[in-house]
Structure 1
Amino acid sequence: MTMMLRTPVAADLTRVASDLARWQSDEWPGFLHPGDLGWHSLVGAERTAADVRVWAYDGKTVAIGLLDEPDLLRMAVDPSVSDDESVAAHIRRDLEDPEQGVLAAGEAVIEARGAHALQDSLRTEGWVDDEPWTPLQLRLDEPLNVERLKRAAVRVASVGPDEAATWIAVHWSAFRATPLDDETRARFMQRWTTMATGPFADLAQHLIAFDSDEAPVAVTSVWAAGPGRPGLIEPMGVHKDHHGRGYGVAITLAGARALQQAGSSSAVVVAEGSNDGALATYVAAGFVPSTPVTDLSRA
């Protein structure tokens, strides 16, 4: 048995996403989704590939990691080997050895949800539970209750690069709540266009909600993993001037509807346990929270 660790090149990303998609199911533990790679690809295909790590066991991909930050690795492990102690031991050794080029020595966080054997192996080496996160899921194999979407009286548009400036302005307001200067807008538009036309473009739909005055009030991107698999909502935000009017629930339901039309079995998202506003929005949209999960950290 041979375990190999590699860093893919840009041309490999479609295959990496395909492998990752096969592991997505409605028993979703909140682990890495192809949509996470898609959103990360704001940095471009080459940089995204450089941030990905792939573990193969006898030629079969068994784990995929994404360095969201140099000290933050987000992972998914093939559910068929999630309890395999031998696979876990190989991966853990790579994670703890700076020479392997995954994590440097010192402080680090690993997101390994659902990878039971790997979590246990890391804990035995001194890794400890980090802050809790809550996976949420909305089943799409039955009619979707869009009453809150209708009540919000918004027009929802699926947009591409031509509408990037509008999408970006709402997203910036939702997450930064600071003025967006021309230089930053131009840089973000270039990154957004790179993402929207990159190797994961076919997985995504980018939505904007407009109110009755045609003001853009909320945005989301949703990412399919293929028919019969859960699709990811990432990100979702409401313009700071339009909070408290139900637009977060509305755009979330619009995203779920888009995923349903694409054949997804459910819509999924993970929210920080301390983010009461996000949790309340998703629950109001019909999402069901599952047991909170923690990442693992090393001091």
Structure 2
Amino acid sequence: MSDGTNREHRLLLLAALSSVATALVLIAAKSVAWVMTGSVSMLASLVDSVMDSMASLINFVAIRYSLVPADEEHRFGHGKAEALAGLGQAVFIAGSSVFLIHQSTLKLMNPTPIEASAVGIGVMVLSIALTFGLLLIQRYVIRRTGSTAIEADSLHYVSDLAVNVGIITVLALSSMGWLWLDGAVGLAIALFILRSAWQIASESVQLLLDREMPGDVRTRISAIVSSHHDALGFHDLRTRQSGRTCFIQLHLDMDQNLTLRMAHDLADRVERDIKRDFPSADVIIHLDPVAVGPKVRVEPPQAP
């Protein structure tokens, strides 16, 4: 295993462990704050953190499994474990949102004063600081690894920042008599969490269904092939993402009069250049002989 791969593995595990640790600290702090304030908005934030911790644990297990090298039974590796983890997160998050919708509705029907608001505000400020620090770590890891699981985990932590600011507003205004605001914000948080669950589930399902990679990826591959003078064009380009590995397959057109050695060397050069742009790519190139003629650049069809 190369040094670069080892470094990616360490970064992924660091991000996963940081997420778990952050969620556990926030659960402890928000539990105390909820007991002291009785705020349903605080309860919503607590439940969200519990879901975060469960999702982070799923992520940690999935990432460790996805890093296992390809074997005889899994020739394409274990990268789809990350997409499965994202789907599992979506289920947990959706379940928490349904619970919060119920609790928030009850709070709207029977609003009650919030106690010890200062404690709740302090916990929310702590939550914002810890969440922001975690997001910095996750963004760095996503840029270096392209991990689907870490990106999904990061999505609902981003939403947590907005949620925490909203809860601080609720705690501050409730002391001024705006008792209904607690239930309303709790309901808004629940709906926001449900939307996040839908986004994570949709992306995970598409990855499991081997959706084509974005159109700009196909454009870059077209430019790479066209940069080689002996490449007469290409067709049947297929791409898909599995964890951090992208699979790229294409048929490369070349002069039928080239020797086997020359044709092989050309394919190797094209593959090398594709991997330079996509370091984690698994590239398969099929050689198609064509009659000698003017070089024609074949544009790949746009991804749906």
Say which structure, 1 or 2, has more relative contact order (CA 8 Å, 6+ apart): 1
Question: What's the TM-score once normalised by structure 2's chain length?
Answer: 0.24
Larger proportion of helix: 2
Larger proportion of strand: 1
